[in-house]
Amino acid sequence: MLTAADDATIAYLRSPIAIRERCGQLFDLACADRLRYFRCDLSQLERTADYVLQVTRESYPDLKIPFHSRWRHFEVGTRPRLAELKDKLAGLSPVEAAQAKFDLAIVSVLLDAGAGSVWQYHEPATGEVFRRSEGLAVASFDAFCQGVFSSNPAIPLQADAIGLRQLINTRLSNAFQVSDTNPLVGVAGRIRLLQQLGQTLQRHPGLFGSQNPRPGNLVNYLLEQATDGRLDASQVFAAVLEGLGDIWAGRLTLAGVNLGDVWLHSALSNPAVPHSTLVPFHKLSQWLTYSLLEPLQELGLVITGLENLTGLPEYRNGGLCLDLGLLQVTDSIVFQQAHLPSSEVIVEWRALTVILLDRLAETIRQQLNQTTADLSLVKILQGGTWTAGRRIAAERRPGGTPPIQIDSDGTVF
């Protein structure tokens, strides 16, 4: 039975405040050299910020940086996919078009976990080849346009509860060109995630609608939450966590409630604080939140409170910190084997990444004499740390693999 204390703990663990506080506790331990696997070297902060800024200026010399979101990945290559999508949605009302974009973004983000170093997607329309996150984005874009996630062949440009629940391995594998020679990490986990999404849509009619539940119906809910045309980003994040919390299989639970991207670290044990060892990240949920903001802005909403969300603790941002010396390994086992997302190696790596992204953002703003309002963290990620992490990985290792190997199930990173 869910007690008031449990309810309060769950609400806390679903907040950006909790992410920063718990990650900050591990960061303090790392700075004191009291963690098992990592220490921090803040003397490398300026050097790392310089590298990120150099990469940023190459892509955005005017520093007019868009949000770090799934929509950037749909823009890769030569094909004007977003213009094509706009044409396909031209007959819909603005709200209906936003609903379709939510359907696409939510499904695509949930499929955006590490693809592995081998998999690639040959885009039929152009013959171009894409890998990793961009490959997953383009593959999911094509699958969406082909109606892979819709139960109604007459309305392909949607994802709905029935279509997602009935999704089978072979259909997704075919859409993503998976084969023995083109393996995609975690296919089964991705399928389960989308099937779970189909089920959870039906359990939250207030968020996703009671008739033909769709991820896109979240647009209607968020429009109702807006005040005077303004919507706080944390409200979008809260809706994502509430509506999608049940989809994460095999995760920690509290009083029967699935906690999602929340993990344990023994160094935080404190008898005076209930559940003190739980460390929340909610990486995919925040990445999804960032990816839902643009369709809402297109409806005329002003998004506020962006600074409250955190950086994304995944292997590009974390790899940047490690490759440029902001993070240093204290135990060689970190590099000697692959690690589960639940391992304290990965929990430490991710937690320290969250705080170091804040430190990098602050340093970059100081160098540019800009405020948080001028240059939000979500823009620094785009400019930015994610691209810089990929670049330094390509310079350091064949294939641009992360510095630490993760035994992923296709649902975390």
Banded pLDDT at 168 (limits 50, 70, 90) = confident
Query: Which pLDDT value is given to residue 407?
Result: 84
* Mean pLDDT computed over 231-250: 90
Give residues with Cβ within 8 angstroms of 273, minimum separation 6.
Answer: none
Cβ atoms of 98 and 301 within 8 Å: the answer is: no
Residue 126 lies in a domain: no
Query: Which pLDDT value is given to residue 133?
Result: 87
Pairing of strands 327-329, 38-40: antiparallel
Residue 76 lies in a domain: no
* Mean pLDDT computed over 273-301: 94
* Mean pLDDT computed over 160-172: 91
* Mean pLDDT computed over 156-169: 93
**What's the pLDDT tens digit per position in 242-275?**
999 888 777 899 998 889 999 999 999 999 998 9
Please state the domain count of the chain: 1
Query: Which pLDDT value is given to residue 291?
Result: 94
Query: Which pLDDT value is given to residue 412?
Result: 62
Residue 199 lies in a domain: no
Residue 25 lies in a domain: yes
Q: Domain residues for 366?
A: 1-65+273-283+306-413
**What's the pLDDT tens digit per position in 181-224?**
999 888 888 888 899 999 999 999 999 999 889 999 999 999 99
Query: Which pLDDT value is given to residue 377?
Result: 95
Helices (H), 159-314: 161-165, 169-175, 187-203, 205-208, 218-225, 233-244, 283-298
Residue 139 lies in a domain: no
Banded pLDDT at 228 (limits 50, 70, 90) = very high
Residue 116 has pLDDT above 90, yes or no: no
Residue 276 has pLDDT above 90, yes or no: yes
User: Distance between CA atoms of 277 and 327, rounded to whole angstroms?
Assistant: 22
Any idea which of 54-68, 243-257, 339-353 has the lowest mean pLDDT? 243-257
Long-range contacts of 26-34 (CB under 8 A, 24+ apart): 26/265, 26/267, 26/268, 26/279, 26/347, 26/348, 26/351, 26/352, 27/351, 27/352, 27/355, 27/356, 29/267, 30/327, 30/348, 30/352, 33/330, 34/267
User: For the residues of 278-306, what is the DSSP string, one character each?
Assistant: EEE--HHHHHHHHHHHHHHHHTTPEEE-G
User: Distance between CA atoms of 218 and 352, rounded to whole angstroms?
Assistant: 32
**What's the pLDDT tens digit per position in 32-47?**
999 999 999 999 999 9
Percent of the chain residues past pLDDT 70, beyond the cut:
99
Any idea which of 87-91, 355-359, 397-401 has the lowest mean pLDDT? 397-401
Residue 20 has pLDDT above 60, yes or no: yes
**What's the pLDDT tens digit per position in 74-110?**
999 999 999 999 999 999 999 999 999 999 999 999 8
* Mean pLDDT computed over 295-307: 95
Residue 57 lies in a domain: yes
Query: Which pLDDT value is given to residue 82?
Result: 96
Residue 184 lies in a domain: no
pTM, two decimals, is 0.91
Banded pLDDT at 409 (limits 50, 70, 90) = low
Query: Which pLDDT value is given to residue 198?
Result: 95
